């Protein structure tokens, strides 16, 4: 489990440009959960995931990973109780090896895995993201944008972290690429029973993947609840520069017009199901 | 008017794998055109031909009558067609908003009085006047992107090409940019070419062009485009969520219109469907 206790992070501490990127955050992230992390630009999302991954230390507060406080000054990264995989935005810019295989093998090799284990991990990671074997010997730079993105994500998956954090993994991809990456992450989370934290500006993507949603606003924790609980607060989200999924707006519109439809609908599938129920009640269909 | 005539383009000398393959289209003055296509379909490459960042390997591009391949046309073409890219941080050069907006004008040697007037009007147009003296790094993503757009507007272009301008923005940033784009098009008469992966953004244009393998494969009004759901899915694209909802309902035997692409009309359609039986 990951637990933050009163965590604050201040840029240019004490200087004239002091800014509180995170302000007194306390939250718990349970094992095997699929969390969405949303917030306006500059709300502190990236700082939060960097803190959890141990890349930066907070100005104050505790960050407990399985009970070990990684925020302590004397804490060393090699003592990290759980590996935390962080996939940055546009991770394809970090591809560097000569072949797809070697790029994905970089992590496991660094961890000291023998070549048989490296091969197993790389093969599994590339299968997970849907990269076919014929590309293993190709240069990562010859691939399409969507393929590069998937190889870069495989480079983190191959280290088999029990916690995987992805910062806008679908940004800039076409609808098919977006759908495909999200499906693969969802499947990985279920199959391997890992914890996933997905940072996204797409409310539609969060609605169909996350079980729980963390909402940051101006460096503070605004909400942490189930996806339905969070998206039920449309007005508050809108004030914070966020929104609810397009389909939820349709359902709210119907309710305003006196149609008695369940209010916490988040996806097209759910909306279709609810409308069909109403239509059946009215005898419009069998 | 922007006119592409049989444009072929390849990034290497090998024309057997062209990125653009014999593309001919015309963008009418004052129109709002969205360009869709999967990653690698050639849409950004086409857009870069509209202000001579790229020149065709074969065929011609005419921007308001001028052949973009003619060396002496370059400055004029760039003045008439401005481009806005995905990442606002890569497009901001100055430390104060108004200086950033003035950057292009300084390069053109516009006199100081006129420069002030143009910068003021450009910031007005994107509703960023109150931030004229602010530092760009303190702005939100949507605000920065509007500053980038103001920098283009100040040059008084006749056309703006935006290449996924909302890809990195939060929901309110996306709303701000779409509102700004519509103001420029409807109130100022600027031609808009919007490249996007968001179907709901394309639905707001007057015309949608769909690209695949370097060719234009669909070219129609948004309603007609988004009723071709199967073809779009096969091209790696999608339809707006409300269009998808209507499709699912029709599949189950409900008689709803299939050409629904906006939230409002979706609500109307469903209200009239579900209220019917009360009479």
**Residue B167: pLDDT over 50:** yes
**Residue A165 Cα distances to A123, A210, B176, angstroms:** 21, 13, 29
State the residue range of the domain holding B110.
Answer: 2-239
Same domain, B72 and B200: yes
State phi, psi for B94 to the nearest 5 degrees. Answer: -100, 170
Cβ–Cβ under 8 Å, residues B208 and B225 = yes
A56 touches chain B (CB under 8 A): no
Q: Would you give the DSSP letter of residue A132?
A: -
| Residues B103-158 pLDDT 10s | 989 988 899 999 999 999 999 999 999 999 999 988 888 899 999 999 999 999 99
Query: Distance, in angstroms, between A209 CA and closest chain B CA?
Result: 16
CA distance B75 to B110: 14
Q: Which of A44, A4, A42, A7 is nearest to A24 (CA)?
A: A7
H or E segment to which residue A199 belongs: strand A195-199
Same domain, B54 and B29: yes
| Residues A220-234 pLDDT 10s | 999 999 999 999 999
**Residue A187 Cα distances to A34, A190, A196, angstroms:** 11, 5, 11
Q: What is the pTM of this model?
A: 0.89
| Residues A256-270 pLDDT 10s | 999 999 988 999 999
Q: Which of A224, A223, A219, A222 is nearest to A58 (CA)?
A: A219
Instruction: Report the residue from B37, B39, B263 with minimal CB separation from A253.
Output: B263
Q: Which of B12, B19, B35, B39 to mutate to test the interface with A (most CBs of A within 10 A)?
A: B39
Does the ipTM exceed 0.95?
A: no
Cβ–Cβ under 8 Å, residues A127 and A158 = no
Q: Which domains does chain A have, with CATH numbers?
A: 2-227 (3.40.50.300), 245-286 (no CATH)
Same domain, B182 and B257: no
Q: In chain B, positions 85-144, which contact chain A (CB-CB < 8 Å)?
A: 86, 140-142
Cβ-based contacts of B266 with chain A (< 8 Å)? 250
A250 touches chain B (CB under 8 A): yes
**Residue B278: pLDDT over 60:** no
Same domain, B60 and B140: yes
Both structure tokens of A65: 């990973």
Q: Is A73 exposed, middle or buried (0-12, 13-18, 19+ CB in 10 A)?
A: exposed
H or E segment to which residue B114 belongs: helix B112-125
Same domain, B118 and B227: yes
What residues in chain A have per-residue pLDDT under 70?
13-14, 17
Both structure tokens of A213: 């949603």
Of all residues in chain B, what percent carry a pLDDT higher than 70? 98
Same domain, B203 and B104: yes
Both structure tokens of A102: 């070697």
Q: Which residues contact B173 (CB under 8 A, 6 or more apart)?
A: A40, A41, A241, B140, B141, B142, B143, B145, B166
Q: Is B189 exposed, middle or buried (0-12, 13-18, 19+ CB in 10 A)?
A: exposed
Q: Which residue of B has its CA nearest to A252?
A: B267
Q: Which of B241, B235, B122 is nearest to A204 (CA)?
A: B241
């Amino acid at each position: 489990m990951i637990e933050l206790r009163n965590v604050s992070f201040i840029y240019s501490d004490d200087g004239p440009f002091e800014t509180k990127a995170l302000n007194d955050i306390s939250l718990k992230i349970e094992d095997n959960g699929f969390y969405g992390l949303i917030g306006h630009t500059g709300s502190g999302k990236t700082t939060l995931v960097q803190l959890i991954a141990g890349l930066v230390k907070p100005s104050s507060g505790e960050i407990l990973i399985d009970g070990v406080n990684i925020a302590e000054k004397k804490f060393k990264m090699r003592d990290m109780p759980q590996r935390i995989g962080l996939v940055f935005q546009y991770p394809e810019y970090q591809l560097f090896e000569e072949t797809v295989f070697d790029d994905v093998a970089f992590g496991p090799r660094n961890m000291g895995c023998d070549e048989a284990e490296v091969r197993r991990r790389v093969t599994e990671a590339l299968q997970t993201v849907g990269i076919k074997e014929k590309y293993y010997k190709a240069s990562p730079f010859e691939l399409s944008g969507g393929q590069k993105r998937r190889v870069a994500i495989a480079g983190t998956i191959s280290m088999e972290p029990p916690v995987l954090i992805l910062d806008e993994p679908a940004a800039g991809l076409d609808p098919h690429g977006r759908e495909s990456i999200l499906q693969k992450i969802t499947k990985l989370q279920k199959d391997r029973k890992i914890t996933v934290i997905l940072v996204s500006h797409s409310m539609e993507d969060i609605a169909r993947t996350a079980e729980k949603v963390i909402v940051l606003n101006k460096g503070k924790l605004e909400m942490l609840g189930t996806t339905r609980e969070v998206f039920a607060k449309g007005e508050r989200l809108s004030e914070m520069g966020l929104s609810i999924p397009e389909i939820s707006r349709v359902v709210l519109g119907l309710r305003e017009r006196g149609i008695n439809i369940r209010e916490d609908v988040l996806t097209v599938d759910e909306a279709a199901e609810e409308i069909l129920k109403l239509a059946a009640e009215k005898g419009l269909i069998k | 008017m922007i006119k592409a005539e049989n444009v072929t383009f390849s990034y290497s000398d090998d024309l057997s794998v062209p990125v653009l393959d014999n593309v001919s289209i015309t963008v009418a003055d004052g129109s709002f055109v969205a360009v869709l296509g999967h990653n690698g379909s050639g849409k950004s490459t086409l857009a870069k031909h509209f202000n001579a960042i790229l020149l065709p390997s074969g065929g011609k591009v005419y921007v308001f009558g001028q052949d973009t391949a003619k060396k002496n046309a370059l400055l004029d073409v760039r003045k008439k067609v401005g481009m806005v890219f995905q990442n606002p941080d890569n497009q901001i050069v100055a430390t104060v908003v108004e200086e950033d907006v003035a950057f292009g004008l300084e390069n053109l040697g516009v006199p100081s009085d006129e420069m002030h007037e143009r910068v003021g009007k450009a910031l007005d147009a994107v509703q960023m006047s109150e931030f004229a003296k602010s530092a760009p790094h303190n702005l939100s993503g949507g605000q920065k992107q509007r500053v980038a757009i103001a920098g283009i507007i100040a040059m008084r272009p006749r056309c703006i090409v935006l290449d996924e301008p909302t890809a990195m923005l939060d929901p309110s940033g996306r709303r701000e940019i779409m509102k700004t784009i519509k103001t420029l098009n409807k109130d100022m008469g600027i031609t808009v070419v919007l490249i996007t992966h968001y179907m709901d953004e394309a639905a707001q244009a007057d015309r949608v062009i769909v690209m695949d393998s370097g060719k234009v494969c669909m070219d129609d009004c948004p309603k007609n485009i988004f009723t071709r759901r199967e073809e779009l899915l096969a091209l790696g694209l999608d339809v707006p969520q409300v269009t998808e909802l209507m499709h699912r309902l029709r599949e189950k035997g409900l008689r709803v219109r299939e050409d629904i692409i906006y939230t409002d009309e979706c609500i109307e359609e469903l209200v009239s469907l579900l209220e019917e039986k009360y009479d």
